[in-house]
């Protein structure tokens, strides 16, 4: 199953949403680990087309004063330090843009402009507690407060906090398919709310390709009260109490034994303070086992 799993890294889309396709990829939440000295490296581009509304309370639209768009170039890697332990790192570089005034307000509240910078750089470790037909693994992910913020535009590239996310995951691999579930409790510093994170993923092998469906539910506990700048709250980028239930599809194709490509798309079936727009991604990976 470990051989099958490598090459299926999905992408953690937008502030909270790029969590579906970028930082903290779903692969990092799987119960399988790399072999000793085995590694996986991926370069990916994820983006959300220009959008003008966010999910608001009870599913209502939350209008923006400017059209926003987001893109992320991300490097992701795993390395097996032992047969049961894998270390993980994610380096996201985000490109944010605030464009035309949408006239949802009498006058523009934020300025037009762009912002580029690191998102929350992520470091993690996954250890396989049970290595059987149905494995069980524990993982720990730490997201560093490496994002940038521009007050004139309200653009932000990451949470202004340290995030610590321990998780448990279990699943089953059948050669022609696989499935796993995971769950964890996220701590976020600087008076952001803590959150619960649960998800499921399943894949079906078709020749050299995999067709994969995934879903993730992030639920804030609303126990934080960080006072973010007004312009940041207007854009909704990495604000407090973001929540979503996402549904997505991805496909992976092996070009050679070592190299392959991954494409993905995800959207929110229910959410708050995330874009009302789907996210898309494409990646190239290299693996060694």
Each residue's pLDDT tens digit, 33-69: 999 999 999 999 999 999 999 999 877 899 999 999 9
Q: Give the closest residue to 91 by CA, choosing from 22, 32, 141.
A: 22
What is the pLDDT of the chain when averaged over all its residues?
90
The answer, as to whether pTM is greater than 0.85, is: yes
Confidence of residue 21 (pLDDT cuts 50, 70, 90): very low
pLDDT confidence of residue 188: 98
Q: How many residues does the chain have?
A: 289
Residue 212 in contact with residue 203, Cβ under 8 Å? yes
Q: Where in the sequence is the domain holding 30, given as residue range(s)?
A: 2-288
Confidence of residue 70 (pLDDT cuts 50, 70, 90): very high
109-115-121 Cα angle (round to 5):
125
Residue 268 in contact with residue 17, Cβ under 8 Å? yes
pLDDT confidence of residue 27: 58
- At 98-111, the pLDDT tens digits run 999 998 888 899 99
In Å, how far from its chain's centre is CA 278? Answer: 13
- At 146-165, the pLDDT tens digits run 999 999 999 999 999 999 99
Residue 1, pLDDT > 90, answer: no
- Secondary structure of the chain in the HEC alphabet? CHHHHCCCCCCCCECCCHHHHCCCCHHHHCCCCCCCCCEEEEEEEEEEEEEEEEECHHHCEEEEEEEEEEEEEEEEEEEECCCCEEEEEEEEEEEEEEEEECCCCCCCCCCCEEEEEECCCEEEEEEEEECCCCCEEEEEEEECCCCCEECCCCEECCCCCCEEEEEEEEEEECCCEEEEEEEEEEEECCCCCCEEEEEEEEEEEECCEEEEEEEEEEEECCCCCCCCCHHHHHHCCCCCCCEEEEEEEEEEEECCCCEEEEEEEEEEEEEECCECCCEEEEEEEEEEC
What average pLDDT does range 82-101 have in this prediction?
97
Residue 91, pLDDT > 90, answer: yes
d(CA 158, CA 59): 24
**For the chain, what is the domain count?**
1
- At 186-236, the pLDDT tens digits run 999 999 999 999 999 999 999 999 999 999 999 999 999 999 999 999 999
Residue 12, pLDDT > 60, answer: no
- What percentage of the chain carries pLDDT values higher than 70? 90
Question: Which CATH number belongs to the domain containing residue 116 in this structure?
Answer: 2.40.160.40
- CA distances in angstroms from 100 to 79, 241, 257, listed in the order given: 44, 27, 46
CB atoms within 10 A of CB 75: 13
Residue 248, pLDDT > 70, answer: yes
CA atoms within 13 A on the CB side of 99: 10
């Amino acid at each position: 199953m470990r051989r099958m799993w490598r090459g299926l890294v999905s992408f953690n889309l937008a502030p909270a949403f790029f969590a579906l396709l970028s930082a903290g990829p779903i692969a990092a939440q799987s119960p399988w680990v790399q072999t000793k000295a085995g590694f996986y490296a991926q370069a990916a581009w994820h983006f959300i087309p220009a959008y003008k509304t966010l999910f608001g309370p009870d599913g209502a639209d939350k209008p923006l004063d400017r059209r926003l768009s987001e893109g992320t170039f991300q490097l992701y890697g795993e390395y097996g330090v032992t047969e049961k332990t894998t270390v993980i790192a994610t380096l996201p570089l985000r490109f944010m843009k605030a464009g035309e005034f949408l006239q949802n307000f009498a006058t523009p509240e934020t300025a037009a402009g762009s912002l580029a910078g690191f998102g929350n750089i992520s470091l993690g470790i996954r250890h396989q507690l049970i290595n059987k037909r149905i494995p069980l693994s524990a993982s720990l992910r730490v997201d560093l407060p490496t994002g940038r913020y521009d007050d004139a535009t309200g653009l932000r590239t990451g949470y202004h906090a340290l995030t610590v996310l321990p998780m448990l995951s279990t699943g089953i691999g059948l050669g022609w398919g696989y499935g796993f579930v995971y769950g964890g409790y996220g701590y976020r510093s600087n008076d952001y709310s803590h959150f619960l994170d649960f998800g499921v993923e399943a894949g079906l092998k078709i020749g050299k390709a995999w067709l994969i469906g995934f879903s993730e539910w992030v639920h804030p506990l609303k126990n934080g009260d960080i006072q973010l700048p007004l312009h940041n709250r207007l854009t909704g980028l990495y604000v407090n109490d973001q929540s979503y239930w996402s549904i997505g599809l991805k496909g992976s194709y092996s070009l050679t034994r070592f190299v392959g490509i991954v494409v993905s798309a995800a959207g929110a079936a229910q959410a708050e303070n995330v874009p009302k727009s789907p996210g898309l991604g494409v990646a190239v990976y290299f693996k060694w086992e």
